[in-house]
């Protein structure tokens, strides 16, 4: 099962450009497929600050993630670079997730936006919800690349699913929502399997690296 690492950074006022620049360099140097996104439309603008999310993918096992993490801590420049970015932020963190499903076929060559839905399953409904989302993605006709993921159960306590939709334009995302989500027959069953509505946010993709360990799972 593929895995990926996320970095979550909220730049201090006036530091967005520097954070983006340094994160781009860090991701490019990782040797893995990766992408960097910045908030365009957050779930609640008055409650959330601009968020920069880095994704490093291409890990086929947790052992691969551990090797990458070991290499980072053994690199004498690793922690100073990380601390340098963190000093520009009011909040920063890291998470590890597993990919449960992606769209068939190749990911978009040049995605420009990603919409992320964070979905809390109803008690005992996780497996059924994942199955329902998989079928939904397979039926979809829009030019959208799906990635369904969650935090690794043995490493974190969250059961929240993340459904990421990569698109070439904002209009593609809106058309997808209008034509394949609203009024979809699967929506009723979906509502029975979740605890409350998803939290949704959209970000601009500012960089994509295929990397030496290229994988579609760099998109998340």
Q: What is the pLDDT of residues 63-93, one digit of tens each?
A: 999 999 999 889 888 888 889 999 999 999 9
Q: Residue 129's pLDDT is what? A: 97
Cα–Cα distance for residue pair 22/36, rounded to 1 Å: 11
Q: Does some domain include residue 66? A: yes
Q: Does some domain include residue 219? A: no
Structure tokens at 193: 């399997």
Q: Does some domain include residue 63? A: yes
Q: In this structure, how many other beta carbons lie within 10 angstroms of the beta carbon of residue 174?
A: 12
Domain that holds residue 50: 3-210
Whether this model's pTM surpasses 0.75: yes
Segment 15-21 mean pLDDT: 97
Q: Residue 86's pLDDT is what? A: 94
Q: Does some domain include residue 218? A: no
Q: Does some domain include residue 75? A: yes
**CATH number for the domain including 136?**
3.30.70.100
Q: Residue 212's pLDDT is what? A: 65
Q: What is the pLDDT of residues 94-140, one digit of tens each?
A: 999 999 999 987 888 889 999 999 999 999 999 999 999 999 999 98
Rounded to an integer, what is the distance from CA 18 to the centroid of its chain? 21
Q: Does some domain include residue 16? A: yes
Q: Residue 165's pLDDT is what? A: 97
Q: Residue 217's pLDDT is what? A: 43
Q: How many domains does the chain have?
A: 1
Structure tokens at 162: 């993340």
Segment 136-162 mean pLDDT: 92
Q: Residue 45's pLDDT is what? A: 87
Q: Does some domain include residue 220? A: no
Give the dihedral of Cα atoms 83, 84, 86, 90; nearest 10 deg: 140
Q: Residue 75's pLDDT is what? A: 85
Return the SS3 of 128.
helix
Half-sphere exposure of 61 (CA within 13 A, CB side): 3
Please say whether the beta carbons of 95 and 9 come within 8 A. no
Q: Does some domain include residue 47? A: yes
Q: What is the pLDDT of residues 24-66, one digit of tens each?
A: 999 998 999 999 999 999 988 887 889 999 999 999 999 999 9
């Amino acid at each position: 099962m593929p895995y990926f690492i996320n970095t979550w950074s909220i730049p201090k006022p006036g530091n967005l450009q520097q954070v983006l620049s340094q994160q781009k360099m860090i991701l490019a140097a990782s040797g893995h497929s990766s992408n960097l996104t910045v908030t365009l439309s957050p779930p609640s603008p008055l409650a959330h600050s601009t968020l920069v999310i880095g994704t490093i993918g291409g890990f086929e096992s947790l052992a691969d993630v551990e090797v990458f993490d070991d290499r980072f801590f053994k690199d004498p420049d690793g922690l100073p670079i990380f601390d340098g970015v963190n000093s520009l932020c009011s909040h920063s963190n890291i998470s590890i997730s597993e990919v449960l499903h992606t769209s068939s076929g190749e990911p978009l060559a040049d995605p420009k936006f990603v919409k992320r839905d964070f979905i809390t399953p109803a008690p005992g409904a996780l497996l059924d919800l994942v199955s329902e989302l998989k079928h939904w993605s397979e039926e979809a006709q829009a030019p959208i690349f799906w990635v369904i993921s969650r935090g690794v159960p043995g490493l974190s306590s969250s059961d929240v699913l993340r459904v990421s939709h990569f698109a070439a334009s904002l209009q593609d995302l809106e058309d997808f929502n209008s034509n394949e989500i609203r009024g979809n027959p699967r929506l009723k069953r979906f509502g029975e399997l979740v605890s409350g509505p998803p939290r949704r946010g959209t970000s601009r993709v500012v960089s994509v690296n295929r990397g030496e360990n290229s994988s579609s799972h760099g998109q998340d």
